[in-house]
Structure 1
């Protein structure tokens, strides 16, 4: 089973080769709305830890699992399910603030909802 993550904040990622030659690194641009697919293929490298095979755009490479967890905790990426849940929650909050005529919170929740819906629409998994 593959796990898909939607990029919510653009960033650059440096791909490091786990081979003995240290000069095999390059940087890819990861854009808001891109999909990161984490496959079931994993490997363990002594002194480095666990890596998972990921697919981003046209790239296939191994990424440290800890880095993926860091991206999730920093809010740079959301799982597809988490994105759907967040959108559902924000839609509820927008409706709630409309019912209570709370202009300040309505504006905040509506902007957040619009941002996430834009990301959702640009993602290729929908």
Structure 2
């Protein structure tokens, strides 16, 4: 008798578990909890452009597949970024002058960067410079 009621009990348990899963909220929480946002996050809105005194930029050597991050100010010169980036990626050989490299903004690959990074369209987030070996 116990052996014949065992499959029926398992079926009943499976049906109960299925109903319980359908009626309970998802494991990620209820909808109101997902919509709550902290007050700080609601007050901060990025409108683009440059609003910070210190910005993180990506320094990339696309031909070698090398990339690093560096922190700059809008007054940082392109020459200093090139020097620091070469050192960070291990391309700072003494016998290759900095003048043999050119930096470009990722979004404007036809215009070499000159002057300060602030004059070259620096923005708060997602700014990337690409270094290319261009021997003279």
Flag whether TM exceeds 0.5 (same fold).
no
TM-score, normalised by the number of residues in structure 2? 0.24
More strand by share: 1
Computing the radius of gyration from Cα coordinates, the structure with the larger value is 2
